[in-house]
Chain A
Amino acid sequence: MRYSIFSLIRQAASHHQHWPLAWRSPPPKKHYDTVIIGGGGHGLATAYYLAKEHGMTNIAVLEKGWLGGGNTGRNTTIVRSNYHLEPNAHFYEFSLKLWERLSQELNFNVMYSARGVLNLVHSPADLDAAMRRGNAMRLNGIDAKFMSRDEIAAWIPNLDCSPAARFPILGGLLQPRGGTVRHDAVAWGYARAADALGVDIIQQCEVTGIRIDGGAVTGVDTTQGAIATSKIGIAVAGHSGHVAAMAGITLPIESHVLQAMVSEPVKPILDTVVTSGAVHFYVSQSDKGELVMGGDLDFYNSYAQRGNLPIVEHVVAACLALFPSFGRLRLLRTWGGIMDMTMDGSPIIGKLPVAGLYMTGGWCYGGFKATPASGFLHAHTIAHDAPHPLNAAFTLERFAQGRMIDEKGAGPYAWAH
């Protein structure tokens, strides 16, 4: 059923009792042309674009838990493309362009809100870096605008822009088209659209092994039985190393926990996304009214999906240094998600050294905003057995070849990116 004002009125007449399910839950078949491991945004988007762009419809998406129950439902919903290096800039800008029309594409309201993403500048060195990145963005056709301290103070009255602030604000780099997207809707929208094109979405189905014969994949073992296939796409960021190990592959990735948290909901108080690299903090307000906040990794390997209190304290302290008036709010909830942290801070979207095996992963902090482009390019790579120009640089081989894409210049320390 196509969602529209007319379907809404029709269903209202029967008290919303007869909405069809948004996707089927079929039992797995014995064979698929392509199996996607991971039913988060990236896996579902991959399946959707395989079906839509490449006409492949005999596809299964296997999810060990429930759709969007991993990092798709744990991120802070921010989308942006304010990157400096060429491969990242073009990739994330492609993604942002897909976000801008995703609700129409999927016939599902993902609530893209171009409320802007503002990176605060606190020192002359910050200022130089922001100007350099802003100029690089504009040369790459991406919107960037430098804002003075006075402009920011007039726009965001709650932000402490006084010279007496703990970290005085000198200005900020704004990407006006950046903003937020409702994360759960992304999983549901891609799932519904993929299902409508014939993709089988199978939840509660964990992959336990990858079958390889003669250097090529032949199928997967799952908790719901064996499934034969000649192409497998891995989209399980956080656990990419665990799944790749089933095919005997070691990745340049460590898994780390990243925490996020929300305050109790309040009336509209902040209409943009504010970030500060100097104090390791970012905040936006959800449509429900909660202030959504995050900061750094916990800085140790973890698969626990929960972190420890020192980072929560750090994030809250940074919040109050920037927004003293938020001090009376109570923290409602904190949680953690597991990040694939690569050794250069950039993702891996491409072929793996087993025929028919592909991955999109290594997303570090940045997986959510990449979801549409990741799915689109992963699908292209699977369908053509070769990368698209936009993901040609994001290979696994770049680490052995010395072609790192190290946006932060942090070197081969996974947790430093």
Chain B
Amino acid sequence: MMLIPCPWCGPRNQIEFTYGGDATVQRPDIDAPDTAWFRYVYLRDNPRGPHDELWLHSAGCRTWFKVRRDTRTHDILASALIDEALPAGAP
């Protein structure tokens, strides 16, 4: 069972949350070339190790926020509000 640290509510059971995928992908400019949109929509680094990702506290405060989680162990390393940076370092 994962205990996910919501930046507003504190640690809560994973069943309160909805996954939102890779937090590092950046939306291109509206007039960016198709290749940039292709990378944004479809390509993922899919790391084996620390992964910065989005979660929604859907059965709680309904905040979208960031979590850094190790995909090999499910250990949660850090969390941050959506407009804040996760701690520097890996990844």
Contacts and interface: CB of A to CB of B under 8 A. Distances in A.
B74 A309 contact: no
A253 B71 contact: no
Contacts, number: 68
Contacts of B72: 303-304
A341 B38 CA distance: 17
Interface string A293-304: 000000111111
A399 B42 contact: yes
Instruction: Please report whether the interface of chain B is mostly helix, strand, loop or mixed according to DSSP.
Output: mixed
A303 B19 contact: no
Given A252-B43, A304-B71, A412-B41, A310 B48 contact: no
B14 interface: yes
Nearest to A297: B19
Contacts of B41: 343, 412
B43 A251 contact: yes
B2 to A, nearest CB: 6
A254 interface: yes
Interface residues of A, number: 25
A415 B44 CA distance: 13
Contacts of B21: 254, 301, 413-415
B46 A253 contact: yes
B35 A301 contact: no
A251 B46 contact: yes
A400 interface: yes
B9 to A, nearest CB: 18
A50 to B, nearest CB: 28
Interface string B69-90: 1011110000000000000000
B19 A253 contact: no
16 contacts: A250-B43, A250-B45, A251-B46, A252-B43, A253-B46, A254-B46, A299-B18, A303-B48, A303-B72, A310-B1, A399-B38, A400-B42, A412-B42, A414-B21, A414-B44, A415-B21
